[in-house]
Amino acid sequence: MEKFTQIRSSAIPLPIEDVDTDQIIPARFLKATTREGFGENLFRDWRYNPDGSPKAAFVLNNPQYGGQILVAGRNFGCGSSREHAAWALYDYGIRVVVSSFFADIFRGNALNNGLLPVQVEESFLHDIFLAIEADLKAVFEVNLEQQTITIIPSGAQASFPIDPFRKMCMINGYDDIDYLLSIQSDIENFEQRQKRYFTNTILP
Amino acid sequence: MQAELNMNKTLFDKIWDAHVIKQADGGLDVLYIDRHFIHEVTSPQAFDGLRKRGLGVFRPQQTVATADHNVPTKNQHLPIKEELSRFQVDKLVENCQDFGLELYGLGHPYQGIVHVIGPELGLTQPGMTMVCGDSHTSTHGAFGCIAFGIGTSQVEQVLATQCLLQRRPKRMRITVDGQLQPGVLAKDIILYIIAKLTAAGGTGYFVEYAGEAIRSLSMEGRMTICNMSIEMGARGGLIAPDETTVSYLKNRTFAPQGEAFEAAAAYWRTLYSDPGAEFDVEHHFDAADIAPMVTYGTNPGMGIKINEHIPTAAGQTASFGKSLEYMGFQAGEQLLGKAVDYVFIGSCTNSRIEDLRLVAQFVKGKQKAGHVNAWIVPGSKQVEAQAKAEGLDRIFLDAGFDFREPGCSACLGMNEDKVPEGAYCISTSNRNFEGRQGPGARTILASPLMAAASAIAGKIVDVRTLLN
């Protein structure tokens, strides 16, 4: 996983609530067996017509907007557990998603892939949308060490929560698996103690 | 001391605590996973990860694989026509061979939707922790276990270590008291609950379902309830095991047998929330208030009773308007009488034998409306075989329904089973998201009975008016 400490970037506004992972990456594009290339189909059906031509009204097709930060309405990432949603955002170049509320599985998937979910109050989210409206190239700074997001033009700042362990992993680029592999003897001891739980799934 | 502490534990905490190996730095629990299911769509990158790290599968006998998400539901004996789907399914076969995992793939008598086969094979048992790279893993909670969906990175972690790093979620209890009206099914209970609590109302929680209306459900009904826990944002839902659970599991293929079964059942009967157990949130509903439900929007929280009207636009967000525009509905109108083009009876929510029996009982001797495409997709090869043994397939064919082979099918349209742009589909599946059943498809979620009745009528009807 790539390390993340801080970024300064303009932001892409998506003021829609309950953006589900089927919108982020529709199921029919989940057939790849690698993690790369999903960015091409990010928000596929909002972004393109059935004939493949771009839908001009969609924000990703508007060259005036851009940046590594996506700002979306509440309950972002609900629905399917597909990690492809996090891969698609990351592959497209997004490094931070800001919302007033994230779905659990998406939040976890994002954190496992170096994509930072920044949860702010509804009023601050509104301020971000206003700042982008006032200046499409408005810059924002996200500092993971400090756990802050700053609207650079106004100087307004908010802090965001993050699990201390996840923060440490993001900053250092660590994966959970490194830690879990390091405690294998604890896992084996636990299995010895708790034998009654486990039966083979394969018929003898 | 231990006994005293246990006096006030929730069912969830009893199971969770029994699976915590240790607490990691930062307060995350290292949670041991008893059972792991994998399928073709969310596993290939996990196996790639293992290869890159030079790792094997730590406990291969605790993982079971099946092919369900993108498989065709016609001619499963032939090679898969769609190249990418075929590649993904072949990759699963290769990965299972390379890593020594049990695969119930296409052609195997146990193949089927992962959340249908786990329970019917007795792999799902009370008190377990279970995960799968699929958000509807919550289904298994019907047996009184902790089951939740995970991402592919976590699939890799479980394959490599049989563990996950997890923060303990908050606990919610939803109690549904009283008895259901005729024509109202488990599906209506859960759509009603989600409509009340919204699509995000359960986020951060694990839900225990309780109360007379839940307790009187069959295991199939309980699975339908727990299945859709994720549709209100909850990672999982669970129901305390009881005699219904124990008798369902008796003699199942992978359930303990003989004396071992009795010993297991004795343990299972200890799995319930203690009278003094505290929940972070409690909700109470009255079963008598629940009617057949339909959704009118593009998330499962946008549901109404069949005789109700879509809410008016006043005070709604922009997303509400966008949603109605997509569905082609007007704020304030009713869904009763709206024409439907497709009927889909299937998915991990409603494709079990009990669902098929209910549908067969209703459509027997009737004919579907001429303009309606009606698909019935059994949840597994075993459900398909059972339906055929009972002659349900004949009833479906005689009524003009297409009875297909098992898979996730039109629930998410990864295979050919797609609903065309603009068409209305009344569906027993779990998500009415934009494009879920195909680009531009319009999904109305409902119970199997409501779907069957609408197929016959060719329009949305209140099944209660058609029951004897």
pLDDT tens by residue, B146-201: 999 999 999 999 999 999 999 999 999 999 999 999 999 999 999 999 999 999 99
Which residue of chain B comes nearest to A182, CA vs CA?
Answer: B161
What pLDDT sits at residue B6?
55
Listed range (A114-123, B18-27, B218-227) with the worst mean pLDDT: B18-27
Identity of the residue in A164, A186, A191 whose CB atom sits nearest the CB atom of B22? A186
For residue A101, give the nearest of B21, B137, B200 by CB distance. B200
- Which residues numbered 115-174 in A keep a CB inside 8 Å of some CB on B? 163-166, 168
* B325 neighbourhood in chain A, CB within 8 Å: none
* A201 pLDDT more than 60: no
pLDDT by residue (tens digit) across B338-356?
999 999 999 999 999 999 9
A173 vs A175: CA distance, rounded Å: 7
**Residues of chain B neighbouring A83 (CB-CB closer than 8 A):** 42, 45, 133, 151-153
Task: Report CB contact under 8 Å: B267, A196.
Answer: yes
ipTM reported for the complex, 2 dp = 0.94
Task: Tell me the pairing of strands B281-286 and B293-295.
Answer: unpaired
Residue A13 at interface with chain B, using a CB cutoff of 8 Å: no
Q: Chains A and B: how many Cβ contacts under 8 Å? A: 208
CA distance B285 to chain A (A): 24
For A112, B129, B173, B203, the CA distances from B17, given in Å and listed in that order, are: 25, 11, 18, 21
Separation CA A58–CA A148 (nearest Å): 29
**Are B200 and A103 inside 8 Å of each other by CB?**
yes
User: Could you tell me what percentage of chain A is helix, strand and coil, using 3-state DSSP and rounding each to the nearest 5?
Assistant: 40, 20, 45
Q: Residue B412: list chain A partners with CB under 8 A.
A: 22, 27, 80
Rounded mean pLDDT of B435-451? 98
- Measured between beta carbons, the chain B residues lying within 8 angstroms of A177 are 49, 53, 153, 156-157, 160-161
Helix (H) or strand (E) holding B165: strand B163-166
Model pLDDT, residue B5:
53
Rg of chain A taking only CA atoms, in angstroms: 19
Q: What pLDDT, in 10s, does the model give residues B379-422?
A: 999 999 999 999 999 999 999 999 999 999 999 999 999 999 99
Which of B22, B69, B151 shows the shortest C-beta gap to A108?
Answer: B151
Using a CB–CB cutoff of 8 Å, tell me whether A79 touches chain B: yes
DSSP state of B153: H
Distance of alpha carbon A38 from alpha carbon A67, whole angstroms: 18
For residue A85, what is the DSSP state? H
Answer whether A199 sits within 8 Å of B27, measured CB to CB: no
A81 to B135: CB separation less than 8 angstroms, yes or no? yes
pTM of the model: 0.96
